[in-house]
Amino acid sequence: MMGASLLYHLALEGCTDAILLEKGELTSGSTWHAAGQCPSITGSYNLAKIHAYGNQLYPRLEALTGQYVSWHGCGGLRLATKPHELAWLQQVYGYSKVIGFGMEIVGIDTIKRLNPFLNPPGGIAAALTTDDGHGDPSGLCQALAKGARDLGATVLRRHRVLDIRARPSGEWDVITDQGTVTAGMVVNAAGCYAREVAKMVGSDAPIVNMQHHYVVTHPIAAFQERAGEIPVMRDPYMRGYFRQEQKSGLIGVYESEQLAEAWAPRGHPEWDASNELFPEDLERIAPWLERAMERMPIFADAGIRRVINGAIPHTPDGAPLLGPVAERRNLWMCCGSSFGIAQGAGCGKYLAQWMLHGDAEINMSEFDPRRFGRFADAGYTRAKVFLDYRTTFVTRRPGEEEPDGRPQRVSPLYERLRGAGAVHGETHGWERPKWFSPDGRAEEYSYQRNNVFELVAAETRAVHERAGILDLSGFSKYEIRGAGAEAFLNRVCANRMPRKNGRIALVHALSPNGRILAEMTVTRLADDLFYALSAAAAEVRDLDLLRERVLPDEAVSIENVTEARGVLVLSGPRSRELLARLTPAPLGNADFPWLSAREISVAGRAVRALRVSYVGELGWELHAERSALGDLYEALWSAGAQFGLANYGLYAVNGMRVEKGYKAWSTELTNELNMLEADMERFIDFNKPDFIGKQATLAQAPRPLKIVYLEVAATDTDARGGEPVLVGERCVGIVTSGAYGHRVRKSLAFACVDPQWAAPGSRLEVLIQGERRAAMVLAGPAFDADNLRMRA
């Protein structure tokens, strides 16, 4: 499905010199045995765009290609019986408004009208989606392949790829059992075999294949007597789905016990496997089948006619792998989709755009395979995949993170801070403090402000009034060296590198199309040495980006020093006094101004100190050898007692960065936008003769996209991203991120809107949890617009 869709969309984009190699017959992997459902509902806004595209294409595919796809546009009902399940549906309802798929939240009367056979519990609600349904997976896949062939692309069946070898030219030899194909680009779309195919190029695809069952009942009289078809039902209570399959029932469950991998335990792929199923294990899924029958009593007497137990590829975070392979050129992935029928169309479309045009029109950061790194080893991947499988139909709340597969990457302070109440969150394998629990309380996860709200307020107050300390060792860190380093970075980034040693600049790397790929803080340490910091999640991508852009004759080397150094962030009006207790280095503005860096000694430890702040207060980032971090923290903590030093975490950071109006990579700063659209013009130096993306930025025709900064009249629920921005009944944009600002006592957000509504003072509304909230475009940062506190 994924390969056929990619081929079709490459061909649609004009690239017909493309071949799909299939070891057996098309669909003989996971695709043939799928249940074929294509839900509109999914927890991620960007993934919802992928789903929505499939649901637009599939009903038309038969007419477009002449291939029978058996599309049933019966819609879907996702049931909710708990408040947080309904809250999640409200969040997704927001996506539907922005993306434009049919969805409404309905009550018992509509549910019963659409599915009169349901035995509903009290207090039930549902999301009714109207553009989706189910199709025949083989038909859909064959239709995409036919469409691709009709456009001029090639499908070679019975060609097994045995090996993939690099050529000096940058091309690849794809060696099959029928001969070799030389290709400019190669895409791994091998489904359950993707990990084995990745090994051919010395790489990895963090995928574990899971066994998944559905059963088909004998025909049911009640369905036979009725003309229509019930919607596809999705139900957290029975951890799965059920629907009509012609006049029979079809029930699929995601069991939570005794999960089973597909072929991985046997230790090697059976390359000859084709149209393979696994032995049925009804005992394993029986508790959930019983629940399905409780919901649909007409299933109980029908008897089971067919059991399907097939393999599905899953990734650690449940999202597909779409994008470049780390550290390899011209190698891509289009695999790891656990809803490959629903997602196949959109995955193919947006990956084809990326491959051929350099950027996709949607934000691809959560699909980029390089969101994983070496930390996603076999043990981690297995633990996370098991979690992903068993929670497929469990509604998770914002901030909820399970312990499976953790901790994988920790700072030397991990245990120390846990002892102090730190509640960690995971990013790119790193454990990073989110907030500190002073009394052992656990977070009551919710879309609403919850029981950590006041604690985050207190952490923010400490940073604002006294001093706070934060372990941010997970920062990605690179050293860029060589006589050509300055010219290289000036070519790669839109902003100019600092001219003086010891100065710091915020810079962005753009695609040749001018879209935003990366944001880094670069410190010039010496004439030929720059220290670059970027988001933890960008570690592999930014390293790739930097290394790929070095020209053959350029005297530049790039080293990833992420693991070598830890980082403590010291922030707050008393941070200078505190730090002065531990260092002989002068810290005043004359000697150590804002946006400068010095190598200093702190408590006898060598520290690279950067006077920068993401939270908008006086402060320093202290970068030290990992081995020194423990002592450094203890020294700061002891000296800090008299200044009221407090630990703080990333929840507080997020509120403070939004107060400062700082846009974040991957939410505001994405491959969807250029710097002008992201309102980042002040970080471009157009006086430079050239930088990658300059011409495209200047030439970009106006588009209806502009990042704005909003004050939102929220009461107990803040916008967090994905909420529609409305003018009357018209949806004019989407919130990209948001938070409550405790220093300014305002709910704030960034949104991407039609520029017509971007002028400061524009009055808009944001739909949060089904309620309209007034919002106004702000002219500048809500907190300390002149940066007086950071310069203090």
Ligand X SMILES: Cc1cc2nc3c(=O)[nH]c(=O)nc-3n(C[C@H](O)[C@H](O)[C@H](O)COP(=O)(O)OP(=O)(O)OC[C@H]3O[C@@H](n4cnc5c(N)ncnc54)[C@H](O)[C@@H]3O)c2cc1C
| By CB under 6 A, residue 71 contacts ligand X | no
* R_g of the chain computed on alpha carbons: 27
Which residue is associated with the tokens 């083989």?
138
Of 10, 18, 35, 652, the one binding ligand X (CB under 6 A) is 35
| Crossing angle of helices 45-65 and 83-99, rounded to 10° | 60
d(CA 306, CA 194): 29
Taking the complex as a whole, how short is the minimal distance between the CB of residue 395 and ligand X, in angstroms?
Answer: 19
Is the dihedral angle over the CA atoms 17, 23, 28, 34 positive or is it negative? Answer: negative
Choices 309-317, 366-374, 562-570, 674-682; region in contact with ligand X by CB under 6 A = 309-317
Of 37, 91, 408, 769, the one binding ligand X (CB under 6 A) is 37
Taking the complex as a whole, how short is the minimal distance between the CB of residue 382 and ligand X, in angstroms?
Answer: 18
Of 94, 133, 191, 318, the one binding ligand X (CB under 6 A) is 191
Choices 337-345, 748-756, 759-767, 775-783; region in contact with ligand X by CB under 6 A = 337-345
Taking the complex as a whole, how short is the minimal distance between the CB of residue 442 and ligand X, in angstroms?
Answer: 34
Which SS3 state, helix, strand or coil, does residue 315 take?
A: coil
Q: Residue 778: which residues within 8 A CB-CB, separation 6 or more?
A: 661, 709, 710, 711, 748, 760
d(CA 226, CA 137): 25
Give the residue with the Cβ less far from ligand X, 340 or 412.
340
Give the residue with the Cβ less far from ligand X, 36 or 619.
36
Taking the complex as a whole, how short is the minimal distance between the CB of residue 396 and ligand X, in angstroms?
Answer: 20
Of 6, 11, 18, 28, the one binding ligand X (CB under 6 A) is 28
User: What residues numbered 193-232 form the site for ligand X, per CB under 6 A?
Assistant: 193, 197, 212, 214
Give the residue with the Cβ less far from ligand X, 340 or 369.
340
Taking the complex as a whole, how short is the minimal distance between the CB of residue 383 and ligand X, in angstroms?
Answer: 21
Which residue is associated with the tokens 């029930």?
251
Please count the other Cβ atoms lying within 10 Å of the Cβ belonging to residue 451.
Answer: 13
| By CB under 6 A, residue 340 contacts ligand X | yes
Taking the complex as a whole, how short is the minimal distance between the CB of residue 32 and ligand X, in angstroms?
Answer: 7
d(CA 524, CA 508): 16
| Closest listed residue to residue 330, CA positions, set 557, 560, 559, 544 | 544
| By CB under 6 A, residue 2 contacts ligand X | yes
d(CA 530, CA 551): 18
Of 31, 40, 44, 408, the one binding ligand X (CB under 6 A) is 31
Q: Can you list the positions of beta strands (E) in 177-316?
A: 179-183, 186-188, 208-217, 232-235, 240-245, 248-253, 304-314
Give the residue with the Cβ less far from ligand X, 210 or 568.
210
Of 143, 341, 462, 719, the one binding ligand X (CB under 6 A) is 341
Burial 203-231 (b: 16+ CB within 10 A, else e): bbbbbbbbbbbbbbbeebeebeeeeebbb
Taking the complex as a whole, how short is the minimal distance between the CB of residue 125 and ligand X, in angstroms?
Answer: 23
Written in H, E and C, the secondary structure of 581-618 is CCCCCCCCCCCCCCCEEEEEEECCEEEEEECCCCCCCC
Choices 67-75, 185-193, 466-474, 725-733; region in contact with ligand X by CB under 6 A = 185-193
Taking the complex as a whole, how short is the minimal distance between the CB of residue 311 and ligand X, in angstroms?
Answer: 6
Give the residue with the Cβ less far from ligand X, 31 or 363.
31
Q: Which residue is nearest to ligand X (CB)?
A: 29
Give the residue with the Cβ less far from ligand X, 311 or 707.
311
Adjacent-strand bridge partners of 242: 233, 251
User: What residues numbered 157-176 form the site for ligand X, per CB under 6 A?
Assistant: 160-161
| By CB under 6 A, residue 264 contacts ligand X | no
Structure tokens given for 261: 């991998």
Contact residues for ligand X (CB under 6 A)? 1-3, 21-24, 28-31, 33-37, 160-161, 189-193, 197, 212, 214, 308, 310-313, 335, 337-342
